[in-house]
Amino acid sequence: MSIKSLYDDLQVFMDKLPSGYPKTESGVEIRILKKLFTPEQAKLFMKLTLEPETVENIAKTIGLEPLLLEPKLEKMAFKGLIFRERKDDEVYYKAFQFIIGIYEFQLNTIDKELAQMIEEYLPHYGMALVMAGVKTKQLRVAPVSSAIDTASPVASYNMIREQLKNQELIAIQNCICRKEQGLLGKHCDYPHESCFSFGNFAQYYIENKMARKIDLQEAMKILDIAEESGLILSPSNSKDMVCICCCCPCCCPAVKYSKLFPEPVKNFKTFYQAEIDPESCTSCQECFERCPMEAIQEGDGTSKIKKTHCIGCGLCVSVCPEDAISLQPLSGVEDPPEFMEDTFQQIKKERNIQG
C-alpha cells in the first residue's frame, strides 16, 4: 500500500466515525493526518473500533503479541490519537473521532503548522455537517447561574453547578481554541484555563498531563470567573456530562462561524432565549457588548432580542441594571440523550453511517 493510499484510507475510516472527517479540495485533511500519525500508527488506528478493548483482545484481532502491542497503543494514547480508559484495574483502548476528540487532545503538542491547517479545515468541516443535515450537536448551551432564577422551569441537567456536585473526578485544562488562535498571532484576553472534563475524560486528560485535578470549590470559582468574563457554558450534549467548554466569541469556531449564517441559533442546541421587558428597559445598552452572539439591538425606545441569534446563554441577564431581561424556555426542545455514547449514535444515524 502506498503512503498516499494509506492516508486516504485513514481519512475514509475517520469519516465513518460519529462526527466525521470530510474530504476537502485542498487536501488539508490529509496533511493533518500525516502530521499526526506515522504510517504504522495509521494502520493500527484502522484496526481499532469505538468499543473499548483490552490489549489482549486487540492483539488477538490483529495478530500481534500483547507485549509488543501495548507500548504502541500507549504511545498513541499519550499522543492523543486514541482514547484510553481504565475499569477494574484493566486498561482499555479505542479509536476516537477527530472533533470532539483527537483535535482537542493535541493541547500539549499543537504548533503553528498544525494550527494553520486546523484553521483552514474547520470551516469546511462545519459546513459539511450542516450540508449533511446533522441536527444533533455534540455540545449544548446551558444558562449561567445568574440567569437561572429568571428561567422557569430549569431542568436539572441545565443546572451546571448542581451537576458539578455529582462528579467524582473533575479536571481543568486550557482551551485548545484559545491556544490555537494564540499560535496564529491572535492572542485572546479571556481566561485560558477554563475547560472542564469529568470521569474517564478527566482521567485521560490528567494522565496525559493536559489537565490538573481540582476540587468542587475550585471548580465553582472557575465558573464564577467564566461568568464574570462573559464565557458561554457549553456542556456535552448529554445528561451525564463528560465535559464543559467555556466558549468565547473570538476563538470558539461554533460561535465565530455560526455568526456568518443568517440564523446562527440553528447551529446550537439551546433551551432558552432571552426576553426584554419593554416596560422596564431603559435602552442603556449595557447588554450590547456582553452578548457574544450580537443578538441584542436597539429598538424604538427599548432594546430588542434578535431571536435568530440568541442562544439562551443568559450572560446578558446579570448586567441589566433594571432587571429587564429574563430567560424564557423554548417550546418543543427535546431533552439531551442520557449518555454521550447515545449522542454519538444519534449523529451517526443522522449521517446515515451504519455499524
pLDDT, tens digit, 9 for 90 and up, residues 152-175: 788 899 999 999 999 999 999 999
Residues 26 and 104 in one domain: yes
Q: What's the pLDDT score for residue 300?
A: 83
Question: Is residue 68 in a domain?
Answer: yes
Residues 268 and 159 in one domain: no
Q: What's the pLDDT score for residue 301?
A: 83
Residues 85 and 155 in one domain: no
Is residue 157 within 8 Å of 133, Cβ to Cβ? no
Q: What is the mean pLDDT of the chain?
A: 94
Chosen domain end from 131, 165, 184: 131
- The closest of 241, 259, 242 to 250, measured between CA atoms, is 259
The residue segments making up the domain with residue 25 are: 3-131
Question: Is residue 140 in a domain?
Answer: no
Q: What's the pLDDT score for residue 69?
A: 97
Q: Please count the CA atoms within 13 angstroms of the CA of 112 that sit on its side-chain side.
A: 4
User: For the chain, what's the residue count?
Assistant: 355
Residue type, 157: Y
Instruction: Tell me the average pLDDT across 201-222.
Output: 98
What count of other Cβ atoms lies within 10 Å of the Cβ of residue 12?
Answer: 12
Is residue 226 within 8 Å of 171, Cβ to Cβ? no
Chosen domain end from 257, 285, 300: 257
Q: What's the pLDDT score for residue 128?
A: 84
CA distances from 266 to 39, 288, 309 (A): 39, 21, 9
Residue 49 pLDDT more than 80?
A: yes
> Percent of the chain having pLDDT more than 70?
99
Residues 115 and 9 in one domain: yes
Residues 183 and 247 in one domain: yes
Instruction: Tell me the average pLDDT across 25-35.
Output: 97
Q: What's the pLDDT score for residue 189?
A: 97
Residues 111 and 210 in one domain: no
Residues 153 and 253 in one domain: yes
- The closest of 26, 3, 22, 25 to 13, measured between CA atoms, is 22
Q: What's the pLDDT score for residue 355?
A: 61
Residue 208 pLDDT more than 90?
A: yes
pLDDT digits (tens, 9 = 90+) for 121-155: 999 998 888 777 889 999 999 999 989 877 778 88
Alpha helices in the chain (DSSP H): 3-15, 28-36, 39-45, 55-62, 66-78, 112-131, 145-148, 160-164, 176-183, 199-207, 216-229, 253-258, 286-290, 340-350
Residues 280 and 248 in one domain: no
Question: Is residue 225 in a domain?
Answer: yes
Angle subtended at Cα 166 by Cα 153 and Cα 18, rounded to the nearest 5 degrees? 80
Chosen domain end from 231, 257, 283: 257
Residues 248 and 284 in one domain: no
Q: What's the pLDDT score for residue 47?
A: 97
Residue 354 pLDDT more than 80?
A: no
Structure pTM?
A: 0.94
Lowest mean pLDDT among 51-55, 61-65, 125-129, 167-171: 125-129
Residue 239 pLDDT more than 80?
A: yes
Residue type, 41: Q
Q: In angstroms, rounded to a whole number, what is the distance separating the alpha carbons of residues 95 and 17?
A: 9
Residues 127 and 192 in one domain: no
Question: Is residue 269 in a domain?
Answer: yes
Residues 189 and 226 in one domain: yes
Question: Is residue 83 in a domain?
Answer: yes
What count of other Cβ atoms lies within 10 Å of the Cβ of residue 65?
Answer: 9
Q: Please count the CA atoms within 13 angstroms of the CA of 63 that sit on its side-chain side.
A: 0
Q: What's the pLDDT score for residue 45?
A: 98
Q: How confident is the model at residue 1 (pLDDT cuts 50, 70, 90)?
A: low
Say which CATH number the domain at 293 has: 3.30.70.20
Is residue 49 within 8 Å of 138, Cβ to Cβ? no
- DSSP H or E run through 112: helix 112-131
Question: Is residue 64 in a domain?
Answer: yes
The total domain count for the chain is 3
| Buried b / exposed e along 180-202 (16+ C-beta atoms within 10 A) | bbbbeeeebebbbebbbbbbbbb
Residue 144 C-alpha cell reads as 449561567
- Based on its alpha-carbon atoms, the radius of gyration of the chain, rounded to whole angstroms, reads 21
Question: Is residue 172 in a domain?
Answer: yes
Q: How confident is the model at residue 316 (pLDDT cuts 50, 70, 90)?
A: very high
pLDDT digits (tens, 9 = 90+) for 31-45: 999 999 999 999 999
The dihedral built from the CA positions of residue 268, 270, 276 and 282, taken in this order, carries a sign that is negative
Q: Please count the CA atoms within 13 angstroms of the CA of 106 that sit on its side-chain side.
A: 24
Q: In angstroms, rounded to a whole number, what is the distance separating the alpha carbons of residues 175 and 40?
A: 30
Say which CATH number the domain at 68 has: 1.10.10.10
Instruction: Tell me the average pLDDT across 182-198.
Output: 97
For the CA atoms of 321, 188, 201, 97, what is the dihedral angle to 10 degrees? 120
Question: Is residue 169 in a domain?
Answer: yes
Residues 14 and 108 in one domain: yes
